[in-house]
Amino acid sequence: MSTTAQLVVASDAATMRAARDELVTGLRGLLGRNIRVAGAASRDGALVAGTPGNSPVVAALPLGAELRQAGPEGFVIRAVAIGGRRAIVVAANRDIGVLYGAFQLLRLLQTERPLAGLDLVSAPRLGLRLLDHWDNLNGTVERGYAGASLWEWARLPDSINPRYRDYARANASIGINGVVLTNVNANALILTPAYLGKVAALARVFRPWGLKVYLTARFSAPLEIGGLATADPLDSGVRAWWAAKADEIYRAIPDFGGFLVKANSEGQPGPQDYHRTHADGANLLADAVAPHGGIVMWRAFVYSSAVPTDRVMQAGDEFVPLDGAFRSNVLIQVKNGPLDFQPREPFHPLFGAMARTPLMMEVQITKEYLGQDSHLAFLAPLWEEVLRADTYAHGPGSTVAKEIQGIAGVANVGSDRDWTGSDLNQANWYAFGRLAWDPTLSSAAIADEWIRMTFSNDPRVVGPVQGMLLVSREAVVNYMTPLGLAHQMARGTHYGPGPWVTGGRADQTSVYFNRADSAGLGFDRTATGSDAVRQYALPVRNRFASRDSVPDDLLLWFHHVGWSERLRSGRTLWEELLRHYQAGVDTGRSMQRSWDSLERLVDAERFHRVQALLRVQEAEARWWRDASVLYWQSFSHLPLPPDYEVPRHPLDWYRQLRCPADPRKPRCDAVMGAP
């Protein structure tokens, strides 16, 4: 067998160079062979990568139909014969498709898939596949658990950290094609000339990797950096200011993607400050970027302290009446669920409810409410659940995946050496990109790929790690918020149990959401309660509204249920609650055992890091279970079965636990004692 393989890439354009370099590095590493790069195919067998426009070999192949299917970003990978020799071709319509195809080929090799007879066409199902960074200009990251922001604003544009390029490579390898650099709780300074120069420098690094740059726009920027007396979206001076600002941005960054906006939500300024609508606000910015081909992603995460209705209904009530009022380059960005990135929520009722408005879905990759950096929670099952949920908006089969044009993930990336705060958290960044490319992929398939590429193809590793990943999210649901409970985390940090949290703004407290009383538990969102079910299409509404058909895992989201009422299982609510909390702890333990079995199969460094975090998770799962069960018991007055693990401390002890005010790790292990 020859020790040299030939790679044919005929173009020297930046993205083609990126594809070529990835193939050379990847093939060298995976095959242990020298890779000779040529501009044209010779008699040797070869790997050919290119577009019909930049590669005579690709142009000569009969790939017309496949390339049409591949579209602007997709690719074709095929085993072919060139001059009687076996070859593999990675073909696309555009350079970026070739790069994505190169990564796919490397993925196939690295996961040991057979290459013989290879014949695949792949195109992304969603056009916008974005990471949203909640990164502040001072280097902190809101809800970030992986160290400081990657963006070194003080050093840019002169100093370019090599990690920027690696960040772009990682994203391109999973098809992510845009990045919002700044926090939705926005700072107008990012729109000043000095910062735009820094943004342009990042955009230059990202460009070959197909990664477009977007910024958050602070609605009051005309006041704060423009010297205007108003930010009223209907004011002609304000409109002129934003148009000029957009021109300035596009002069610096010709392929700038557009703006992401959080307005009139949690204290952010917005059009309602001037008695205008969200549509007035979004259209103002949309008109400014439209001449340049830009878009506006306007968030639907709004809830007002002045409105007494159920918090989860406010986005629907606010936005549905505006359907049809937005410019065509506006997308409404809707969180996966109507509350706030909980371990489990029903899908957001806005999906399917705005027929004339393009929607995007926003998910959290950073796990604000799911144990942050330290608990293992593989999120693909959560995202799969919502993408496949049927809205019935246009009859059966109207899944959330079909109702959206794009997806944004709140990044879990920071400057930590492992990028994401823990080794296993990387799986969520990976899974996000893969699902954004193809929302029909299964969690199991994504986990399988990631484990093979991250650890090993050894089935003794793949099996157990896949098992852990796939059960981890449900474990978190079970020990934190089983049976449809939500938002029971400690105030502020959202880390650790706090089902007793009360005071201050009602709809940010646990007691508002759990509605525990001597009769039972859960939020009545049927017609006898807040009637939030009315926001769903009829079949879904009926399914959620009826105790006979509501899924158990959303029961307490929609119903107030008596402690001793029997569920479909035949067990009472009280018994089911206890079982679920215990199941969460048990899964924490089984994940530990699975990992412990890998001691000699995974390198020592990563083995010990993951092992330590799984210990933390098991201890904190018990903390969650004991604190929650004792708190519910103070309402139900029902006993724990004799064989139930006895809580270590009385309820008051848990209630008085004060976590250290460490923004990175608000963990209480110091006070909890050894597990």
395 three-state secondary structure: strand
Please, which residue, 107 or 335, has the CB nearer to ligand GCW? 335
The Cα 665–Cα 672 span in angstroms is 14
Whole-number minimum distance, CB 485 to ligand GCW, in Å? 17
Whole-number minimum distance, CB 182 to ligand GCW, in Å? 11
Report the greatest alpha carbon distance in the chain.
Answer: 82
Given the residues 44, 266, 565, 575, the one annotated as active site: 266
Strands (E), 123-220: 128-132, 178-180, 212-216
Phi, psi angles (nearest 5°) of residue 651:
-50, -45
Active site residue 416: no
Whole-number minimum distance, CB 362 to ligand GCW, in Å? 8
**Residue 288, token pair as written in the block:** 């400014």
The Cα 38–Cα 240 span in angstroms is 52
The Cα 268–Cα 286 span in angstroms is 19
Please, which residue, 133 or 622, has the CB nearer to ligand GCW? 133
260 three-state secondary structure: strand
Please, which residue, 9 or 331, has the CB nearer to ligand GCW? 331
Closest CA relative to residue 395, chosen from 363, 428, 352: 352
Active site residue 266: yes
Please, which residue, 133 or 473, has the CB nearer to ligand GCW? 133
**Residue 567, token pair as written in the block:** 């569920």
Active site residue 385: no
Whole-number minimum distance, CB 659 to ligand GCW, in Å? 16
Whole-number minimum distance, CB 344 to ligand GCW, in Å? 15
In the sheet with 119-122, reading across from the earlier edge strand, the strands are: 34-38, 4-9, 46-50, 85-91, 75-82, 119-122
Closest CA relative to residue 167, chosen from 151, 153, 146, 182: 151
Closest CA relative to residue 48, chosen from 109, 18, 5: 5
Neighbours of 442 (CB within 10 A): 13
Amino acid (1-letter code) at residue 66: E
Given the residues 132, 368, 507, 618, the one annotated as active site: 368
Given the residues 135, 280, 310, 340, the one annotated as active site: 340
Contact, 431 vs 378, CB < 8 A?
yes
Which residue's CB comes closest to ligand GCW? 340
Whole-number minimum distance, CB 513 to ligand GCW, in Å? 14
**Which value, to the nearest 10 degrees, does the dihedral of the CA atoms of residues 321, 326, 330, 336 take?**
10
CA 662, chain centre distance (Å): 25
Whole-number minimum distance, CB 262 to ligand GCW, in Å? 5
Please, which residue, 242 or 369, has the CB nearer to ligand GCW? 369
Q: What's the first-to-final CA gap in the chain, in angstroms?
A: 55
Please, which residue, 266 or 531, has the CB nearer to ligand GCW? 266
Strands 520-521 and 561-562 turn out to be antiparallel
Please, which residue, 351 or 574, has the CB nearer to ligand GCW? 351
Whole-number minimum distance, CB 43 to ligand GCW, in Å? 58
Please, which residue, 134 or 536, has the CB nearer to ligand GCW? 134
Please, which residue, 143 or 649, has the CB nearer to ligand GCW? 143
Contact, 629 vs 580, CB < 8 A?
no
The Cα 369–Cα 360 span in angstroms is 21
The Cα 186–Cα 264 span in angstroms is 12
Contact, 545 vs 554, CB < 8 A?
no
Whole-number minimum distance, CB 490 to ligand GCW, in Å? 12
Contact, 209 vs 252, CB < 8 A?
no
Residues engaged in binding ligand GCW (CB under 6 A): 134, 142-143, 184-185, 262, 266, 301, 340-341, 368
Contact, 337 vs 386, CB < 8 A?
yes
**Residue 204, token pair as written in the block:** 């230059």
DSSP-assigned letters across all residues of 276-301: --HHHHHHHHHHHHGGGT-EEEEE--
**Which value, to the nearest 10 degrees, does the dihedral of the CA atoms of residues 161, 167, 172, 174 take?**
170
Whole-number minimum distance, CB 567 to ligand GCW, in Å? 30
Phi, psi angles (nearest 5°) of residue 457:
-90, 0
Please, which residue, 140 or 405, has the CB nearer to ligand GCW? 140
Whole-number minimum distance, CB 549 to ligand GCW, in Å? 30
Please, which residue, 92 or 315, has the CB nearer to ligand GCW? 315
The Cα 260–Cα 281 span in angstroms is 12
Amino acid (1-letter code) at residue 200: A
CA quadruple 431, 432, 433, 438: dihedral sign: positive
Please, which residue, 299 or 543, has the CB nearer to ligand GCW? 299
The Cα 513–Cα 489 span in angstroms is 11
Whole-number minimum distance, CB 186 to ligand GCW, in Å? 10
**Which value, to the nearest 10 degrees, does the dihedral of the CA atoms of residues 256, 331, 299, 273 take?**
90
The Cα 190–Cα 195 span in angstroms is 5
Active-site residue numbers?
266, 340, 368
